[in-house]
Chains A and B, each alone.
Chain A
Amino acid sequence: MQLIACPWCGPREEVEFSYGGQAHVPHPAAPADLNDEEWAHYVFFRANPKGRFAERWNHSAGCRRWFNAVRDTATYRFEAVYRLDDPRPVTP
């Protein structure tokens, strides 16, 4: 079982966390101004890369805070965790 480093609590077992999908997909400010295709992209479309992926995680059975992480989807390795208001860090 992996350890995931919650930015608020430090490393905890992965069962304490829940996954929240791709990060940096903000809710559109004015959905009514979007056409159907643009809105569908927000609702249904997410990236699914092999390799580094910026994701949302929730320490749901811990401090219950949401945070972002850069994780390698091929190795499961977490390369960075950061707060929601931080920009995506540059990983080596």
Chain B
Amino acid sequence: MTSTHRTVEGGRIDRTTTLGFTFDGEALTGHPGDTLASALLAAGRHSIATSVKLGRPRGVAGAWAEDPCGLVQIEEPFPEPMLLATTVELYDGLAASGLPGQGRLADVPDSARYDAVHHHVDVLVVGAGPAGLAAALTAARAGARVALVDEQSEAGGSLLSGTDQLDGVPATAWVEAAVQELAGSPEVLHLQRTTAFGSYDDGFVLALERRTDHLGAAAPEHLSRQRVWRLRARSVVVATGAHERPVVFADNDRPGIMLAGAARTFLHRYGVLPGREAVVFTTNDSAYDAALDLSRAGVRVQAVVDARPDGAPHRRAECDDAGIPVLPGSVVTGTRGVERVTHALVAPLAGGEVGASSAVGCDLLLVSGGWNPAVHLYSQARGRLRYDEELGAFLPGDDVDGLAAAGAAAGVTDLAGCLADGQRVGRAALASLQLEPAADDRLPSAPEFRTPAAPMVLWRVPDTSGAEGTTQFVDLQRDATVADIARAVGAGLRSIEHVKRYTTIGTAHDQGKTSGVLTSGITAELLGVPVRATGTTTFRPPYTPVSFAALAGRDRGRLFDPERVTAVHGWHVAQGAVFEDVGQWVRPRYYPQPGEDMNAAVLRECAAVRTSVGILDGSTLGKIDVQGPDAAVLLDRIYTNLMSSLKVGSVRYGVLCGVDGMVIDDGTVLRLAEDRFLALTTTGGAAKVLDWMEEWVQTEWPDLRVHCTSVTEQWVTFPVVGPRSRDVIGAVFPGVDVANEAFPFMTWRDTTLDGVPVRLARISFSGELAYEVHLNAWYAMAVWTRLIEAGRRYGITPYGTETMHVLRAEKGYPIIGQDTDGTVTPHDLGMAWAVSKKKPDFIGKRSFARPANTDPRRKQLVGLLPTDGSTVLPEGSQVVELHPDGVLPPPPVPMLGHVTSSYRSAELGRPFALALVRAGRSRIGETLHVPLDGSLVPVEVTASVLVDPEGARRDG
């Protein structure tokens, strides 16, 4: 199809280059500088898609983000749903289709990159129209650090859509000079295609820059497609312009019905005639410019229908000269046409009564009900709006701290006024920064302002169509009508927020840019209250839709969260380990041999440890170096045990509780010197325990001379575990006397291996003879390899976290956070032995004496053995007790507790579990039941230590 509706000349498109694209499968052409919407209109195509609920044809009704209709899906080069045809810049090879209000997500991964940049400025100006440019120039000329962001492809704002002159030449020449001047200012960041979509506290503004969307398949791969700018400004100038507001009448949604200002934009910016025969319906003077400009461009303007009784007297002569009939005191009551408007129904309006209508033929119906300042960013920053009775619009009220609106966004309606307002607000920002305006900070001279005739506030035309408001569309994207608002009000809703949610008005893609204020006005009218009493709904970010991909930026996939691996991770990978995430750590879970599943591998690993020797990469254990003359005092207060009595060279297990007496972590503590300890924590608790120590040292005991430092990353830890571990350690470290008497349980020894310092500690998390090998992570691989080599003759078996868990559970050692949940005391875990009775106080001690903590009915950690010898109870299963007659108590069945850990045991030859059970220790020997898949599994309650309760194995 040819560009039947392209003007002969003019517009900001590059006519020397032709771009090919398809829409709904039809091949079309356009030019660089076009949007998808302007290219479609140039081809005479208005109808874009059908509406979401009613399936009515809808077209292009605006020229930018305020368009409530023209939703499209991009198919090529990358599928993207729910874009406005008016904001999609045309590129060669674009393939798009119209959307009935619902998009379709891509089913292929998005290969594009998205990123984010932080930027700090003195003054952020949002909007590069006349007010924004004036503000940015004023700030830049004074030497302030400035960011200027604008959502369109080029600067100029409303100046791109008109024929204004500044300094006697086209205003676009001034725009070009201003952009050049800003580009020459080293402290200015100027971004086009960048939408400020959210404003937050303390001058924080988020903006989305579309960097390569407009290039289509030609987008360079090394550039991020979109970028989120995280802007922090001392002063924010909101120069976001205004959105034109329609007037509601029957069948006001047909393709070919468009905002008057949008038609002017299509004409002047894109060189497009949006129709051949136009009717212009207005309540204010601004639409006369559209009527006259279109007429000059060859559009036959059938009539200007002006709702005001006297119309615009001073525009009358211009209309007469152009041969445009003006019908003052008249309204459009309805339309005809299906795929495109064919007639406007025009009727006189007097005293609120509509007279008989006559049909005026047209293929374009332009509407203007006034202008709504784009107050979104002001309102998001908690600025309070005030209703202006004359304009029928909500304007910014008082300035918010560090944020002010300027120009049309502040309700200024003329060019000279917008320039002056921009400069004024720019200077106010400078004043707050204690900067002086530059001497050469001059504004261009604008044409003299002609005071317009007062606008009329008209939200909707009385419905004479007989449809009772059901075709008077307020929110075209939601297919919501005046009848829907009437139903909401009839249902008793009074708050505009409730009306919004009841009718869904303002909840679609455009977030009510055209419908929001209309809804306030119509609701107020129906309720018989002033509009200022109704107010508006709350403006929330984002101003325009932002993709999740852009918000996620680089934080996706592997970069979503850091992955921590140990110094011997590569070895685990080479061994075919299966990994699991433990916090940010990636740890081997088990090392399957060919044909093994997890159960088989874990049973093999467990048996190897209990009968010969195994090795674990325990490097993820938290390690805190506690140093200072008062280190022992601090640990005595932090741990429930007495740590100050620990001898240098020895190790003690300790428990940490909160002030409520509940266990928060546990681990062993090595005394390295009189004034130095190494506290080992759980893998997941490392940061928390360091924070905990720091909090107490800083906030309660600043007098203590002690420092706590994380050394988790610096040290690796390799437990060598099992009856043959002594042989392995003895072979690798010949300088160490590994005999039990010389190197007893819960002691540590320093040694060296080829000059590398190594610390060995007799600590066991399995009940077996075991040595932890600690050393500088730098030498980890070499030492690990030697341990493996030395253990080969004993069949040394690397084991993972799953086997570690089984082995510790067989011994009744709890995992804090798995067997505990923040309501469990050391006594509940059967660890009263770890609670010092000698110390006068430690964190949580006083809570142990609270009645709730001494209640014998508390849940206590016990073992459970399913009596069938085969069921593996799911962790989290509930534990219940049957009546003596074997019947389940009536619902609600009392829950005695739950299974916290459950595994198969190679040693026991059967599955077992740990559970927190009410008064559990007094129930040892009893049979309880665990509901599972509709039946009750009988379980025998046992002590929590199921393997080697005498502790005979730990010394080998």
Contacts and interface: CB of A to CB of B under 8 A. Distances in A.
Interface string A9-36: 0010000000010000011101110101
A32 B846 CA distance: 6
A43 B202 contact: no
Contact of B700 (A26, A30, A36, A60): A26
Contacts of A53: none
12 contacts: A2-B201, A3-B201, A20-B699, A27-B659, A39-B847, A42-B659, A43-B847, A64-B694, A66-B698, A66-B699, A84-B699, A84-B702
B745 interface: no
Interface string B829-872: 00000000000110001110111000000000000000000000
Contacts of A58: 691, 695
A85 B702 contact: yes
B200 interface: yes
A27 B201 contact: no
Contact of B841 (A3, A32, A43, A66): A32
Question: Sorted from nearest, which 3 A-B pairs have the closest CB atoms?
Answer: A31-B846, A2-B201, A3-B202
Contacts of B847: 39, 43
A65 B691 CA distance: 10
Contact of B846 (A39, A44, A76): A39
Contacts of A64: 694
Interface string B193-210: 000000011101000000
A3 B234 CA distance: 12
A36 B700 CA distance: 22
A27 B700 contact: yes
Nearest to B850: A36
A66 B200 CA distance: 26
Contact of B660 (A26, A43, A85): A43
A44 B694 CA distance: 21
Contacts, number: 54
Interface in A47-72: 56, 58, 60, 64-66
Contacts of A44: 660
Contacts of A26: 700
Contacts of A11: 202
B201 A76 contact: yes
B695 A1 contact: no
Given A31-B841, A32-B840, A60-B691, A84 B659 contact: no
Interface in B685-713: 691, 694-695, 698-700, 702
Interface of A: 1-3, 11, 20, 26-28, 30-32, 34, 36, 39-40, 42-44, 56, 58, 60, 64-66, 76, 84-85
Contact of B698 (A30, A31, A34, A65): A65
A32 B837 CA distance: 13
A34 B200 CA distance: 46
Contact of A31 (B204, B695, B845): B845
B201 A1 contact: yes
A34 B850 CA distance: 11
B204 A1 contact: yes
Contacts of B691: 58, 60
Contact of B699 (A28, A34, A56): A56
A76 B691 CA distance: 25
Nearest to B401: A77
A40 B849 CA distance: 11
B836 to A, nearest CB: 14
A43 B659 contact: yes
Contacts of B201: 1-3, 76
Nearest to A44: B660
Contacts of B695: 20, 58, 66
Contacts of B702: 84-85
Nearest to A32: B846
A11 B633 CA distance: 35
A66 B659 CA distance: 19
A82 to B, nearest CB: 13
Contacts of A34: 846
B846 A1 contact: no
Given A2-B202, A28-B846, 14 more contacts: A1-B201, A3-B202, A11-B202, A30-B841, A31-B841, A31-B845, A39-B846, A39-B850, A40-B850, A42-B659, A44-B660, A64-B694, A84-B698, A84-B702
Contacts of A1: 200-202, 204
Nearest to B382: A75
Contacts of B840: 32
A44 B850 CA distance: 13
B505 to A, nearest CB: 30
Contacts of A65: 698
A69 to B, nearest CB: 14
A87 B691 CA distance: 24
Nearest to A58: B695
B835 to A, nearest CB: 14
Nearest to A40: B850
Contacts of A32: 840-841, 845-846
Nearest to B118: A13
Nearest to A34: B846
A27 B841 CA distance: 11
A56 B204 CA distance: 24
A76 B401 CA distance: 14
Nearest to A38: B846
A1 B381 CA distance: 11
A28 B846 CA distance: 10
A47 B660 CA distance: 18
A66 B695 CA distance: 7
A9 B807 CA distance: 47
Nearest to B700: A27
Residue of A1, A2, A56 with most partner-chain B CB within 10 A: A1
B876 to A, nearest CB: 28
B788 to A, nearest CB: 39
Contacts of B659: 27, 42-43
A7 to B, nearest CB: 13
